[in-house]
């Protein structure tokens, strides 16, 4: 599947020159030197998007990763997309593709991942980027939906989505990325129905897409949500509402599911807090429960289900209420160098910050100074929308 015209001609010449027996022996001998990983595969060298891309990502220059890696074998290590050392951040890919010249990917699957009683529809969407858009865990891709903006007649603008898979993709080839997208709709009280004129253009485009649909993509972008992999003993506290869970899925895939250098080195605690309306709205719960069972010393999981649980005051259990239950331990872990991440709707932050301020007050801590210290130490990570 990687034959170039030049290779085809050379092969034909060999066939003419040698007997079938000799050729069979040659092919048999060649098979004894099968590549150990993607870096060993032969490839056509063309100009990459950036000089560093061809070095770190051998398939970012227009050649797809070999078909033989389409399904990773159990026990196969994911190590062919690593920096050297693996935690080196000096060459993180950023804005490889921009709005004026986006990459055209192809959707391979779209599946609903919430139950029937969930408040809204959320989909897991896998996009094939052919290995040409390498990214790191915690980054985002931009998607440009087709059509024009009716307000100004200009092409639709780019929408950013946190990537919900590790750099290896859910198929472990490094050729795909997964997005976690909630269909944005607007219920009109006057109509007594959803108003199609006000629905989210890009989210509905993605959730309605069929396998094979082409998607214009930009990025990857962002360095705010990256993990501190140079300090594998660091506690990682992840706070999310809804699809804000996306970047954390890339974290837990890299640290607990895939056989990566980061997973081998990690000694800290990864602690996820997720706030959704009810049990049917939980996302990737099967993966999380499996990780929790297999890694009791390094992974913790707490849910805030606003329509099924009560906080200590008897009201609905929101994300800030669940975090507050463990305030003493969280503050202690942050004092010892832990990192805390927030991702989801921007409306989550006022409640969380008010709660943290109250906790600081109860501990006779200056909240502004405390928060400033976390930011200065690179321990405070926020990505809301």
Among residues 9, 82, 97, 7, which one has the least CA distance to residue 44? 7
> Do 349 and 382 contact (CB within 8 A), yes or no?
yes
Token digits of residue 104: 């055209």
Tell me the mean pLDDT in the region 192-209.
85
Residue 91 a catalytic site member: no
Tell me the mean pLDDT in the region 217-226.
97
Is residue 14 predicted with pLDDT exceeding 60?
no
Report the chain's mean pLDDT, rounded to a whole number: 84
Q: What is the pLDDT of residue 332?
A: 98
The CA-atom distances, in angstroms, between 8 and each of 12, 15, 27, 264 are: 6, 11, 15, 42
Q: What is the pLDDT of residue 76?
A: 61
Residue 385 a catalytic site member: yes
Lowest mean pLDDT among 31-45, 132-146, 167-181, 265-279: 31-45
Q: Catalytic one among 140, 162, 166, 250?
A: 162
Q: Catalytic one among 59, 161, 318, 341?
A: 161
Q: What is the DSSP string of 310-359?
A: B-TTSSB--HHHHHHHTHHHHHHHHHTT-EEEEEE-TTHHHHHHHHHHHH
Is residue 26 predicted with pLDDT exceeding 50?
no
Residue 383 a catalytic site member: yes
The CA-atom distances, in angstroms, between 26 and each of 35, 37, 41, 229 are: 16, 22, 18, 44
Is residue 15 predicted with pLDDT exceeding 80?
no
339-349 pLDDT tens trace: 999 999 999 99
pLDDT band, very low/low/confident/very high, at 150 (cuts 50, 70, 90): confident
Using DSSP's 3-state secondary structure scheme, residue 39 falls into: helix
Q: What is the pLDDT of residue 370?
A: 98
* Through-space distance between the first and last CA atoms of the chain, rounded to whole angstroms: 42
CA distance 363 to 56: 47
Q: Catalytic one among 123, 180, 207, 343?
A: 343
Q: What is the pLDDT of residue 308?
A: 97
Q: What is the pLDDT of residue 323?
A: 98
Lowest mean pLDDT among 44-48, 133-137, 151-155, 368-372: 44-48
Among residues 324, 341, 159, 183, which one has the least CA distance to residue 249? 341
Q: Catalytic one among 137, 258, 324, 383?
A: 383
Strand order in the sheet with 270-276: 299-305, 270-276, 236-241, 339-344, 380-384
């Amino acid at each position: 599947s990687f034959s170039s015209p030049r290779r085809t001609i050379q092969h034909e010449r060999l066939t003419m020159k040698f007997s079938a027996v000799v050729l069979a022996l040659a092919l048999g001998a060649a098979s004894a030197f099968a590549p150990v990983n993607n870096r060993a595969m032969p490839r056509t060298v063309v100009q990459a998007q950036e000089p560093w891309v061809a070095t770190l990502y051998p398939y970012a220059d227009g050649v797809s990763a070999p078909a033989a890696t389409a399904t990773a074998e159990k026990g196969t290590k994911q190590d062919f997309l690593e920096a050297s050392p693996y935690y080196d951040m000096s060459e993180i890919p950023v804005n490889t593709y921009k709005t004026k010249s986006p990459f055209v990917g192809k959707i391979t699957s779209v599946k609903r991942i919430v139950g029937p009683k969930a408040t809204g529809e959320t989909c897991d969407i896998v996009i094939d980027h052919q290995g040409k858009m390498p990214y790191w865990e915690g980054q985002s891709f931009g998607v440009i939906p087709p059509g024009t903006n009716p307000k100004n007649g200009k092409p639709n603008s780019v929408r950013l989505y946190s990537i919900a898979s590790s750099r290896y993709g859910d198929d472990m080839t490094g050729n795909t990325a997964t997005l976690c997208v909630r269909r944005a709709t607007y219920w009109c009280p006057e109509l007594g129905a959803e108003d199609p004129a006000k629905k989210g253009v890009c989210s509905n485009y993605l959730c309605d897409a069929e396998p094979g649909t082409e998607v214009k993509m930009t990025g990857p972008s962002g360095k705010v949500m990256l993990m501190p992999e140079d300090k594998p003993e660091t506690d990682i506290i992840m706070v999310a509402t809804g699809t804000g869970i996306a970047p954390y899925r890339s974290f837990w895939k890299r640290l607990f599911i895939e056989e990566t250098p980061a997973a081998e080195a990690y000694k800290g605690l990864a602690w996820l807090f997720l706030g959704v309306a009810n049990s049917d709205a939980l996302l990737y719960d099967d993966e999380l429960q499996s990780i929790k069972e297999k890694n009791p010393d390094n992974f913790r999981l707490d849910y805030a289900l606003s329509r099924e649980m009560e906080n200590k005051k008897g009201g609905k259990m929101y994300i800030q209420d669940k975090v507050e239950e463990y305030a003493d331990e969280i503050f202690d872990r942050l004092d010892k160098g832990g990192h805390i991440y927030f991702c989801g709707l921007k409306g989550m932050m006022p409640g969380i910050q008010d709660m943290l301020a109250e906790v600081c007050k109860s501990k006779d801590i200056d909240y502004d100074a405390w928060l400033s210290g976390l930011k200065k130490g690179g321990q405070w990570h926020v990505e809301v929308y």
